[in-house]
Amino acid sequence: MPLTFEINPELRLLFIRGYGIVTQVERLRAMLAWLHDPDYGCCDAALFDVSSAKTTPRIAELRELIAILKETPRGGPRRLAIVTSKPIAFGVAHVFGRLLRVSGVPLQVRVFMDAQSAWRWLRPDLLSSVSSR
């Protein structure tokens, strides 16, 4: 499966990874799975790494994902860091963040070209505690 997720309750983190060719059906299936995972509500952040994905969603597909998020009861991440490696994916991820904001979904999105920068934005408190050891 080219789209996987893992929830780490200790870190309150939803980690999603996309690689290869990811279809909209796979996006929807994975998203519905994490939305219904019992640990999803404890997450306050999500890291979505699509740096190894070969495909990017179309705007209509983004709107479909957002419609599902709007219908979902509140809870779950409030910050989403998206890691990309291609300029087109970077741009589409920015559009996704703007569409979320316009739709009223309370999810702050930032897009990064490397995972370390994304992690630093999501969990600055953890990085400072690790570096001070």
pTM of the predicted model, to two decimals?
0.90
Walk along the chain (133 residues) and give the pLDDT tens digit of each residue: 699 999 999 999 999 999 999 999 999 999 999 999 999 999 999 999 999 999 999 999 999 999 999 988 778 999 999 999 999 999 999 999 999 999 999 999 999 999 999 999 999 887 554 444 4
Find where tokens 């589409």 sit: 92
| Closest residue by Cα to residue 5 from 86, 80, 109 | 80
Q: Classify residue 11 as exposed, middle or buried by CB count within 10 Å of its CB (0-12, 13-18, 19+).
A: middle
Contact 48, 110 (CB under 8 A): no
